Chains A and B, each alone.
Chain A
Amino acid sequence: MNPSENADDSRPGVSRRSVLGGGAAVAVAVPLLVTGAGAEAAPVAEVASADLVPIKVEVNGKPVSVRVDPRTTLLDTLREELELTGTKKGCDRGQCGACTVHVDGRRVLSCLTLAATVDEREVTTIEGLARGDRLHPMQQAFIERDGLQCGFCTPGQIMSAVGMVHEGHANSDDEIRERMSGNICRCSCYPFIVDAIRDAQKVMR
């Protein structure tokens, strides 16, 4: 599953149907894992390379072709296949927001997004936010307002904040607080995150 830019895929034109087919296979495999049927259970069949789903996706402005297991999340694909480890896994079940990225400009939880569903779409991660050495106003504001401590939730906070401003929903501190509440910060920088977003959105307008 080595990504290659603009690589010619040998199996072009994967249909939505075949993606769904891969997904249906998961429905059989998952109960075995959840119930832990144990030693009597047949091992989960290895996903043959023929079952891998080729996707073409623009990641941080660069076209990428990659073949993914249809069960693989966008988060694991970013971190483990594309070596974009700025996106963090805090809970792996959509509870903490650390894995927030943009898909076609909308903020999504990459741990709840199957990689196969981002075919032909644009993904932006924290690594793709700055323009060269010039930080995005949100990144700059997070530094200046100390909207971070340990920094682990920060990529998700910033991607979520940028998405929220673009959604046009950062009009008051209370609105910012409400719409940033999917991103947990255990260091508890919340007041400073609100300050940073208030600053950055003035520049972003």
Chain B
Amino acid sequence: MTVSPVGRDIDRVDGRSKVTGTARYSADYPASNLAHAYLVTSTIGRGSIRTMDTTAAQNAPGVVGVYSPANPLGLRLVPGIGEQYAPLEDTQIRFRGQIIAMVVAESSRQARDAAGLISPTYDEQPPRTSLADEPRVPAAGPPGHPPSALVLAPGVASIEAALAASDVVVEASFHQPMQHAVAMEPHAVLAEWNSDHTQLTLYSGAQLPHTAALGAAIRLGVPPTAVRLITPYVGGAFGSRVIPWYDAPLAAAAARQLNRPVRLVLAREQVFTVVGHRSAVNQTIKLGASRGGVLNAVSHVSDASMPFVGYRQMQPAVDTSAVLYKTPNLHFDQRHVMLDVPPTCAMRAPNEAPGAFALETAMDELAVATGIDPVELRQRNYATVVPGTGLRWSSKHLDDCYRVGVRRFGWSARRAEPRSRVDGQWLVGMGMATAIYPGNRIPDPVQVRVRLRDDDTAVVSSATADTGTGGLTMLAITGAHGLGVPLRRVKSELGDTNLPPGAPAVGSMATASTVPAVEAAVNAAVAELIKVAVTDPRSPWQGANSEDLTYENGHLRGRGISMSFGRLLTTVGRPSVEATAAAQPGPEATQYEFHSFGAHFCEVRVNRYTGEPRVTRFTTVVDVGRVVNAQAVRSQIVGGVIFGIGHALLEDNPLELDTGRLAASNMADYMVPVNADIPAIDVHWLDRPDSVLNSLGARGAGELGTVGSAAAVGNAIYNATGTRIRSLPITLDKLL
């Protein structure tokens, strides 16, 4: 009997390649006759290019091509997807840091040197940059997600009336600055065409391999089938590799013109503007409640920055205030403010992290206003159906997250009165917040191929991506589980559009969406195996009925014979059998609401004299269904929590209003947490399978930890200091 690896601590199957330096990321691929590209970006925030003399660059040593509006590459924009401009195709400047030229040379240093010789002149217009002052526009909202909603109890005239009728009202406004994914691998691509330019191979990090290839194909004006994208290793993504930016199309177009492979690696400062960021957002939350803390009204209004150049709308209320607490009156309105800033994109928990910071801070303020313990307050408003609907959750154990978290963290030691715990020069405080993130499967079919080989090994393949999530290991684990064979006999592969289209590594959906497809592919491959067994003349089961054979733990059994699949394949002289199968959600997708849940508990110390805030303890308890790989889930939740600590205390990129310049375009100025910022983090999961979502009961976990963790830090800082900071990051100057 083979023990299933599901739920155990499994080392990453690609761990060895990552610790030995043999894992190849996009910029690591070799090519013969390789040329190197370097971008030039705009130094004004809005206007147009008046002149751009590229003579010096063209004459610089090693330069083989200079592309600019005077010599463009003919790229097309994809209407409605990604940025709504095509670089070099016109002279308009839409944001500071926009691509305005590209130099290709024999070496990367020659390309960079020559790029520095291009210095355009501009006709400048003042960029529109103020989130507070520019006009607000209603959000369009993606299909099925209205940007605004109003639910009122019978007889209630308006949300204002509901608030006015409440015993206690909390109103609070929050500001969060632009945030950047800052994946460790700068965006990079190697583009290589075949000799007659009919097939392009792109080596470039992507969360959705097929979508990235498709996007590049459209921008290049070639058929989608002409582009193969290879992305087995991705140096972090966090939303910044959901859709392709213009790096891959530019490199590919130059490679086509120059008739040689081209590698383009963005400089770190270019990643901050060529690649999207999370919108800055102002939010106002109003909570009306009884003296006992029972919510009567929730109102959530957001104004998120939206670049004129396009891409992603932020919707911070949809999966927070709209679903988290029981309330008879609910209002949300998610508006946009159009600005001349670089494109926005999804960033880890794109809506939920900012939304939960606002809502969960406001809930803490309600706890203070009513004198009710913050955990008790949340339990008094526990939702069992989605507010305004009768929809139930597929599986929800948030109450247990609170209960277990209180015990593990030692919440009972908390004193409600701020500044009541002092340890030397440190004020000590505790705070908590709720985590919630959608637990969906991707609506589209997800394909997986399972190949059984004559050496008793199997290969599980799917063009999903492993951005550090453990996706490759997840494929192997679920394959071994389905086949009932030891994990060491299962190889997995992903990150190549030559493989069957797999689950996008977005929205914490990859595992939940892939599990059913692996199961289907295992069943289909076993059916193929049985077909061989009953038809091949060399098989001991030739002529038997398929129904007489059973597959279990790597063996076929029937008629008193048992044989491993490898032995059968060897016997009949076939190296392998394989099958590809697809899976997609059924009617349950609309019959239930699907979320993962969690509870964060945080202890901070704030220096009485310097205001320095330090996170000293953190406990997070999550309800993510059944865990496929304990090690990977622990890492994902911890990583998510640390993202939240970064949001709370460090990450900021002020926009210079006059110029549209981002103040922090490197990794010293845009501060993310480092090792010394982070204490040991205690993570626990309930391990209650969500059997409605998929057969294993596995739900997503990648983004959940990021949701609410910033609020838990801020709430702990309030408990320590009595100072409520509603504008992130909470830096020491705000606490003095």
Chain A residues near B (Cβ < 8 Å): 29, 32-34, 36-39, 41-47, 69, 71-72, 76, 79-80, 83-93, 95-96, 98, 125-127, 129-130, 135, 139-140, 142-144, 146, 148-155, 158, 173, 176-178, 180-194
Stretch in B182-190, B295-303, B524-532 touching the partner: B182-190
Mask, B494-535, CB within 8 Å of A = 1, is 000000000000000000000000000000000000000000
Given A76-B108, A150-B468, A190-B642, do A39 and B55 touch, yes or no (CB 8 Å)? Answer: yes
Would A146 and B21 count as touching, CB distance under 8 A?
A: no
A-B contact pairs, 9 of them (CB 8 A): A38-B56, A87-B21, A90-B186, A96-B667, A149-B639, A150-B183, A150-B234, A181-B675, A188-B638
Would B24 and A85 count as touching, CB distance under 8 A?
A: yes
Residues from chain A with Cβ under 8 Å of B467 in the complex = 150
The listed residue (A36, A146, A153) touching B634 by CB distance below 8 A is A146
With A39-B56, A85-B21, A186-B238 known, 10 other A-B pairs at CB within 8 A are: A32-B116, A39-B117, A126-B19, A130-B20, A148-B468, A149-B639, A153-B184, A177-B676, A186-B184, A190-B675
Q: Does B631 contact A (CB under 8 A)?
A: yes
Would B60 and A95 count as touching, CB distance under 8 A?
A: no
The listed residue (B19, B56, B61) touching A143 by CB distance below 8 A is B19
Would B27 and A89 count as touching, CB distance under 8 A?
A: yes
Would B108 and A139 count as touching, CB distance under 8 A?
A: no
Would B56 and A178 count as touching, CB distance under 8 A?
A: no
Q: Does B33 contact A (CB under 8 A)?
A: no
Residues from chain A with Cβ under 8 Å of B114 in the complex = 43
Would A126 and B20 count as touching, CB distance under 8 A?
A: yes
- Give the distance to chain B from A193, nearest Cβ to Cβ, in Å: 7
Residues from chain A with Cβ under 8 Å of B632 in the complex = 146
Q: Does B119 contact A (CB under 8 A)?
A: yes
Mask, B106-130, CB within 8 Å of A = 1, is 0111000110111100000000000
Stretch in B9-17, B312-320, B474-482, B550-558 touching the partner: B9-17
Would B109 and A188 count as touching, CB distance under 8 A?
A: no
Residues from chain A with Cβ under 8 Å of B28 in the complex = 79, 85
A204 to B114, CA, bound (A): 47
**B 657-710 contacts with A by CB, 8 A:** 666-668, 672-681
Residues from chain A with Cβ under 8 Å of B680 in the complex = 173, 191, 194
The listed residue (A41, A150, A180, A186) touching B672 by CB distance below 8 A is A186
Given A37-B119, A38-B53, A88-B25, do A152 and B185 touch, yes or no (CB 8 Å)? Answer: yes
Given A36-B119, A38-B119, A154-B18, do A146 and B631 touch, yes or no (CB 8 Å)? Answer: yes
Would B631 and A186 count as touching, CB distance under 8 A?
A: no
Q: How many residue-residue contacts, CB under 8 A, span A and B? A: 220
Would A191 and B638 count as touching, CB distance under 8 A?
A: yes
Would B666 and A135 count as touching, CB distance under 8 A?
A: no
Would B109 and A76 count as touching, CB distance under 8 A?
A: yes
- Give the distance to chain A from B186, nearest Cβ to Cβ, in Å: 7
Chain B residues near A (Cβ < 8 Å): 11-12, 14-25, 27-28, 30, 53-57, 59-62, 107-109, 113-114, 116-119, 181-186, 233-238, 265, 267-268, 467-470, 631-632, 634-636, 638-643, 646, 666-668, 672-681
A177 to B675, CA, bound (A): 5
**Interface-central residue, A72, A142, A185, by most chain B CB under 10 Å:** A185
Given A39-B119, A95-B666, A155-B21, do A150 and B236 touch, yes or no (CB 8 Å)? Answer: yes
A107 to B30, CA, bound (A): 27
Residues from chain B with Cβ under 8 Å of A151 in the complex = 14, 17-19, 23, 233, 235, 468
Would B468 and A149 count as touching, CB distance under 8 A?
A: yes
Would B642 and A46 count as touching, CB distance under 8 A?
A: no
A69 to B61, CA, bound (A): 13
A87 to B57, CA, bound (A): 30
Would A86 and B675 count as touching, CB distance under 8 A?
A: no
Would A86 and B185 count as touching, CB distance under 8 A?
A: no
Would B678 and A177 count as touching, CB distance under 8 A?
A: yes
Would A90 and B185 count as touching, CB distance under 8 A?
A: yes
Would A187 and B468 count as touching, CB distance under 8 A?
A: yes
Would B22 and A86 count as touching, CB distance under 8 A?
A: yes
- Give the distance to chain A from B95, nearest Cβ to Cβ, in Å: 19
- Give the distance to chain B from A44, nearest Cβ to Cβ, in Å: 5
Residues from chain A with Cβ under 8 Å of B22 in the complex = 86, 127
Given A37-B119, A80-B107, A143-B19, do A188 and B56 touch, yes or no (CB 8 Å)? Answer: no
The listed residue (B56, B183, B641) touching A186 by CB distance below 8 A is B183
Closest B residue by C-beta to A194 = B675
- Give the distance to chain A from B99, nearest Cβ to Cβ, in Å: 16
Would B53 and A39 count as touching, CB distance under 8 A?
A: yes
- Give the distance to chain B from A153, nearest Cβ to Cβ, in Å: 5
**Interface-central residue, A32, A84, A90, A182, by most chain B CB under 10 Å:** A90
The listed residue (B233, B268, B641) touching A91 by CB distance below 8 A is B268
- Give the distance to chain A from B487, nearest Cβ to Cβ, in Å: 15
A193 to B639, CA, bound (A): 12
